[in-house]
Structure 1
Amino acid sequence: MAIARASKRRRISPPESPLSTQPLLYDGLASRASGWNLEQQYEQRPREQKKVSESTRLPIKTAEGRIERLASPESEQETVESSFGSDGEDASDTQETEVEERSVEIPVRQQVIEAKEELARIGTLLGENPEEHIGGFRKIAEIGASPNATVKQLALATQLAVYKDIIPGYRIRPLGELDSSEKVSKEVRKLRSFEQALVTNYQNYIKEVAKCAKSSGDSSSGDKASIATVAISCACTLLLAVPHFNFRSELIQILVDKLSTRNRDGDFVKCLETLEKLFREDDDGNPSLDGVTQLSKLIKARDYRIDESVLNTFLHLRLLSEFSSRGSQNRIDKTDSTDARKVKFKKEFRTKKYRKILKERKAVEKEFQEADAIVSHEERDRLQAETLKIVFVTYFRILKTRVPNLTGAVLEGLAKYAHLINQDFFGDLLETLKGVISSASFEDSTPGEPEDDTQDVPENPTSQHDPLRSTLLSTTTAFTLLEGQDAARSASALHLDLSFFTTHLYKTLHSFALNPDIELSSKTLRLPDPHAPSSQPTTTTNNKVNLKTPSVLLLRALSSILLPRSVPPLRVAAFVKQLSICSLHLPEKSAQAVLGLLLQVMKVHGRKVAALWNTEERKGDGVFDALRGDVEGSNPFASTVWEGELLRCHYVPAVREAVKGMERLVREIK
């Protein structure tokens, strides 16, 4: 069967398009289609998509312990975009507002933790390699500018620890024009750049510490007071750790400013102890000179209205034990010694080349000494001489001004420095001491007069002086001035008369014997007298001059008067009789001390006063007058030491033994 062939389909034409009826328009579109940019039109077409906002907030820790990251609210972004346009100022204001909002939203505890971590990281980098991370000082200072008080304290303490570790053992001098223009190696240039950057940042740190320390003692603001305490502690630590480095005067000024205040708090005591330790451990002499100079200016600027403990810091200077010359308020006398003579050496032949080498070697050694801050003995003596002159000027001004609360401290200081005082200064000083004793005697003789209400009330009533104590200190100072020297030659050459001090002490022996506080010092703990007037301070608060009791000062003064071998017999006999009477009224320890002094007097002047123990060997006629002001005119040989019979019955065994030993010595002399 043959296969049938498929019929051929006829092609049907498509329907006519409207364009076909307009051949001219179709031709125009086809010719313009090649210039169309369809991709640009698609790119500029608006799109609808969800905006994804990136959170700029720090993660927080919730109360349950989970750490969550907060997303920025879309409403805030829409408000900011609608309120501000594309202006640059509006954008910057927006960023500042967002930063402030973020800083406020961060909890205080989280800020402190983050500051600790950042400070620890920067401090570690600076400790490992400070030359490569010198910018860390600026970053720590920026962290310290935080309004948070805790963060500021942490920044100050961190800078203190870093500077203590990296400050070199020498003083960095500023670079001059010659140093900047000369050619140096890369290592030297790098080291100079680091040193100058270190000094600049250190100076800024000292300024910040001084600014913070001004709020010390301000009870109205707790945060400022706590920051000031940390700042003062940093200044004290730096002054003791690196006293050789730059800006030492600025550190001392911070401490001196605190000592000028009336509030004696913990910061005041810390500054005081720091200066005392600085004076004791000063091997150079420059720190002590700076400290004494600034303290002297402070005392004069405050018109001597300071705490006496500030003046007592002079007693911790090393020149008390090291300085050998003598001085006054305007000059220093060098001691002539045989060591100053030049020792003659045999001249050694040296070639010109060898002399040149020695000269260069000396120049190099001198540079090394300057770099190592080695101070020669001559330079240290010069610095200590300047310090001593400033101390004497301050003491003499206070004595001339007659400041009551500082008189005792000045007298104690002069007694300490007596071996360093020039003999030409003795005359003026003794006249001043006589004036102090006269004024003290006048105050003691008129205790019952009512005080004038118009007088100024002292700033620190607890530091008012005791007239009897001032008398003892003046007498002790006057006799200490001649100790360690040729007293006879000095007195004859300068026409010094110490009889005024001897007579005044003789007249006040009975007052000291009847003083109930003769064995009490400023450190003695006891209850105040309930019968004392409320308007007058008790005796315990008066004893603020030094730590020595009046009994100790009395024995020192008596030893200076009675123990020298050139004392006349009448003076020795008068004092022996008066002290025997006073020992009946003294407390047991003071009575033992007085009898011990009499035993020493008997060993030195036994033959002069042995007649006082024997009624058959009386050398004088008349009656003994114990209240007579004149020592030699009291007629002591007209009496006997009958007080020994009463002291034999004393309730203290040591007193009874002392009396028996003294009488045994008298029998041996005969």
Structure 2
Amino acid sequence: MGKKQKIILPPDLPPDVADDEIEVSDEDLQFVNDNVDYAGFVSNLDTNLITKHVTRVADVKEDALEALYEKRSKKKSLEKKKEDNEIEVDRVDALPIKTLDGQLHFRTAPKTAKKPGTVGSDQIDGDSSDDGVEASLVKLTKPEKRAKLKKGRKEAKKQEKDAVKSEVQPTPQEQVLAEVEKELTAEESNKAMKFRLAELGTELLMDPESNIKSLKEMLQICNKGDHSITVIGLKSLLAVFKDIIPGYRIRLPTAKEQEMVVSKAIKKMRLYESTLLSVYKAYLNKLIALEKQQPLKRVAVRCLCTLLDAHPHFNYWESLLAAVLKNLNSTDEVVRKLCCATVKSLFTNEGKHGGEATVHAVRYIAEDVKASDCDLRPDSIEVFMSLTFDEDIGRAKITEEKKTKGKRNKMKRGTEEPSQVPANERKKNRKEQISKMRDEVKADLKAASFSQDEEEKKQIQSQTLSAVFGTYFRILTHTMQSIAARNVDTSNESTSQWGTFPLLAPCLDGIGKFAHHIDLDFMGDLITYLRKLAEGGGSSSDISGSIQSTKRLSIAERLRCCIVAFKVMRNNLDALNVDLQDFFVQLYSILLEYRAGRDQGEVLVEALKIMLCDDRQHDMQRAAAFIKRLSTFSLCFDSAEAMSALVTVKHLLQKNVKCRNLLENDAGGGSVSGPVAMYRPQVSDPNLSGALSTVLWELNLLRKHYNPMVSTLASTISTMSTATQNQVLLSYITPQQAYTQSSIEQETFDLKEDFGKNRKRKRGSESVVSDVDQDVKMGEADEDDVLRKKFCDHFVMVHDMSESKRLKDELSRTTLALDLFEKYKNQTKKKQSATTTKVVKKLKVVNKKKKMKLT
């Protein structure tokens, strides 16, 4: 504004010279003629274009010039209108056009897209453009308008086709770049979501009440992201819920309670609880839905199991428990083990839920067994083994209360004061006051303590027991019915995918564990069922019949039936009087049918211990029959079964002194004092086998057994005789311990001699060398024995030291516990004395007030 800009004027044009005055020299003509090629462009000039920009044209009439000027003015006005309706294209995107005048014209585009076939005010007809007449001012007839619309539509279709053709397909490089860009953006979004989940989780754990709304955002992130984000989101929500869920069930306020005016703290608490419940419900529904998807099934089941294990008391526990119990029969082994472990922990930790979840779970399993017709995996029934029941809960405390009541009544009778009030009314008033005080104290104790009421606990345990035994008896009846149907129709041999009777073995184990809780009214039916199942489902009179019946039940299942029968009898010894001879007969026949490797040796060893070793009284004929059969049994099988059988034989010989006559190797054989004078091994009844008339010649062969443990035990048994009747011979090892020890040592056992190689010896010097080698081997064996003794002594000393240290620690712990118990007793005595003094004072005050009223 301060300084004036200098205006630069263009240079002046040269003065006009007439054609007559122009003089061309000969030299110029000669130069042009010599250089015709340089002047050839003049012939290519367009004279028409040049005449457009010439203001004056020679030999033209004045009327034609005026018409020409009018056309040019109309064209200029139309171009201005076009410029007003058009937008100039960016100069970077398109190059300009330079005219002959030297001016630059940039490309333009219309402001609004024009519909094909329509004629606007700014549109110009191509035919009338030369005449300078606008198309909007021309009135067209109806057929002309229709023809024009058709042309416009055709042109629009052509333009669309050209646009589709002009679209260039992307190259493979561009496609790869686009995919890489998408992946990069997805990774960035996933990282952002992970960081956001971490932030929300930390905020919730720090202050859950003020940041409870962030739970919804975390759940939304789980729904938005891909597989990895959903897994991380589910796990983070699990950690948050596991931490912030309270130890009580949330009850939402009713409509009337919401209308009431409350404080800000209560409003905040209600908002917190309602949002927590809504998001928790949505989270559970999402887990149950994801459980059906294979890639996310394990993650969903793990979250459900951890929630049920941590908070089985919280809202929606029934749907959570149902989702876990459905997977007890899952084909996925990981999922099945997770659910079984969760249900077992639920049964053992009943203090968290008060036993409601236990009853619900047991009833659900019972209904599932009924619906599936006992065609489930054994894991679904083995869960019952972790249940625990109290025996006669609350009886001792009730008797103590009755005793204390009687003592207090006696004390009250002795300390009554004479008054004008009748004795009956005074007693009633005192009883009412004491009952009120006791009720108040009990209510306060229940509110303060988290322990469950004894009556409720008893009721819950009775319901669980009835459901458990209902499933067990259902399984037994189903096996009996199926065996009977197969005996009738031998072609019906279809088995389930988990075996012939998959639930029978866990059912028998459970009956053996909870046999002392069974009602005596069902004992007779149970023993008959077990007897029939031990026979294999039918009555077998001989060995061949029993072998045919084993097609129905396995050896292990039959042995379990015998074991359960003995457990039931021993737990109810005073109430039952049942003969168990049939079970001994079945065990006697099973010993011949047993095959090592095919059948379960642990079950056989348990049956030997319970039926033969633990029983105090045995018939002499039966004991002799089992001694003879077990000795022949030990000849045919592995060292583990042989050791357990020989240990059982030793137990029987120690208890039955008369059976040691089998060890006598006289010319006439064993004792012939029994009812049967000849040994008959083919008989199924051990009492009729006549085993006392034979000799244990098998022990002589077992003394040469390849396993040193078996050989030493056989030699010790053979040294027992009738001469040692008065000696007390005790064996501190059971058949089960012998079986486990020998099975462990059998894995690392090596033969000392190679019996398969037949070595040929030569005469002469080679015999001397062999003798020397034998002497060297004997010396090495003596050194090995010395070292073995030293190592044994050392390990015994170390073991004694560790045992003494452990006993000292246990002593210190027990003394501390006793001291604490004495302190607790003293404190409780002081509290009881204080409460009694308060009650006495209150009673005295009440009596004084009554006296004052009466006076």
Q: Give 1:569 shift.
A: 1.9
Q: Give 1:312 shift.
A: 1.1
For residue 491 of structure 1, the aligned residue among 576, 580, 586 is 576
- 1:637 and 1:447 map into 2 onto residues whose CA distance is 25
Secondary structure in structure 2 of the residue aligned to 1:246? coil
- 1:591 and 1:200 map into 2 onto residues whose CA distance is 65
For residue 504 of structure 2, the aligned residue among 393, 397, 407 is 407
- 2:642 and 2:679 map into 1 onto residues whose CA distance is 23
- 1:267 and 1:202 map into 2 onto residues whose CA distance is 22
Q: Give 1:484 shift.
A: 3.3
Structure 2: which amino acid aligns with 1:584?
Answer: L
Structure 2: which amino acid aligns with 1:499?
Answer: Q
Aligned match of 1:612: 662
- 1:595 and 1:612 map into 2 onto residues whose CA distance is 14
For residue 594 of structure 1, the aligned residue among 645, 648, 664 is 645
Structure 2: which amino acid aligns with 1:366?
Answer: K
Q: Give 1:447 shift.
A: 12
For residue 634 of structure 2, the aligned residue among 583, 586, 611 is 583
Q: Give 1:212 shift.
A: 1.1
With structure 1 as the length reference, what TM-score do the two structures score?
Answer: 0.67
- 1:79 and 1:163 map into 2 onto residues whose CA distance is 59
- 2:322 and 2:341 map into 1 onto residues whose CA distance is 15
Cα contact 1:239–1:248 (8 A) shared by 2:
yes
Q: Unmatched 5+ residue regions in structure 2?
A: 1-83, 91-110, 116-180, 413-428, 480-499, 727-855
Q: Say if 1:441 and 1:240 are closer, same or farther in 2 by CA, change over 3 A.
A: same
For residue 428 of structure 1, the aligned residue among 510, 525, 535 is 525
Cα contact 1:472–1:554 (8 A) shared by 2:
no
- 2:347 and 2:432 map into 1 onto residues whose CA distance is 47
Aligned match of 1:654: 709
Q: Say if 1:167 and 1:182 are closer, same or farther in 2 by CA, change over 3 A.
A: same
Q: Say if 1:485 and 1:359 are closer, same or farther in 2 by CA, change over 3 A.
A: closer
Aligned match of 1:245: 314
Aligned match of 1:480: 567
Asked if 1:126 corresponds to 2:204, the answer is yes
Larger Rg: 2
Structure 2: which amino acid aligns with 1:385?
Answer: S
Q: Give 1:296 shift.
A: 2.1
Across the aligned residues of Structure 1 and Structure 2, the Cα RMSD in angstroms comes to 3.8
Aligned match of 2:303: 234
Structure 2: which amino acid aligns with 1:113?
Answer: K
Cα contact 1:562–1:572 (8 A) shared by 2:
no
Secondary structure in structure 1 of the residue aligned to 2:583? helix
Aligned match of 1:387: 464
For residue 343 of structure 1, the aligned residue among 403, 418, 424 is 403
Higher relative contact order (CA 8 A, sep 6+): 1
Q: Give 1:366 shift.
A: 3.2
State the Cα deviation string for residues 198-232 of structure 1 (Å, max 9, x = none).
222212211111111122xxxxxxxxx22222211
Cα contact 1:258–1:268 (8 A) shared by 2:
yes
Aligned match of 2:289: 211
For residue 669 of structure 1, the aligned residue among 716, 725, 749 is 725
Structure 1: which amino acid aligns with 2:193?
Answer: A
Q: Say if 1:280 and 1:422 are closer, same or farther in 2 by CA, change over 3 A.
A: same
Q: Give 1:482 shift.
A: 1.5
Asked if 1:291 corresponds to 2:361, the answer is yes
Aligned match of 1:546: none
Deviates more, 1:649-658 or 1:499-508: 649-658
Kindly report which structure 2 residues correspond to 1:253-268, keeping only aligned pairs within 5 A, or say none. Answer: 253-261=322-330, 263-268=331-336
Q: Say if 1:562 and 1:424 are closer, same or farther in 2 by CA, change over 3 A.
A: farther
With structure 2 as the length reference, what TM-score do the two structures score?
Answer: 0.53
Aligned match of 2:383: 313
Deviates more, 1:181-190 or 1:420-429: 181-190
- 2:528 and 2:250 map into 1 onto residues whose CA distance is 49
Cα contact 1:213–1:231 (8 A) shared by 2:
yes
Asked if 1:269 corresponds to 2:366, the answer is no
State the Cα deviation string for residues 306-337 of structure 1 (Å, max 9, x = none).
21122211112233xxx225xxxxxxxx8976
Secondary structure in structure 2 of the residue aligned to 1:508? helix
Q: Give 1:401 shift.
A: 1.0
- Counting matched residue pairs gives 505
Cα contact 2:612–2:652 (8 A) shared by 1:
no
- 2:546 and 2:301 map into 1 onto residues whose CA distance is 43
Cα contact 1:476–1:553 (8 A) shared by 2:
no
Q: Give 1:574 shift.
A: 1.6
Asked if 1:509 corresponds to 2:591, the answer is yes
Asked if 1:572 corresponds to 2:623, the answer is yes
Secondary structure in structure 1 of the residue aligned to 2:224? coil
Cα contact 2:378–2:506 (8 A) shared by 1:
yes
Aligned match of 2:813: none
Cα contact 1:292–1:391 (8 A) shared by 2:
yes
Q: Give 1:186 shift.
A: 4.1
Aligned match of 2:536: 439
Aligned match of 1:166: 244
Cα contact 1:480–1:560 (8 A) shared by 2:
no
- 1:295 and 1:166 map into 2 onto residues whose CA distance is 31
Aligned match of 1:197: 275
- 1:79 and 1:586 map into 2 onto residues whose CA distance is 102
Q: Give 1:46 shift.
A: 12
Asked if 1:603 corresponds to 2:654, the answer is yes
Q: Give 1:364 shift.
A: 4.2
Cα contact 2:663–2:696 (8 A) shared by 1:
yes
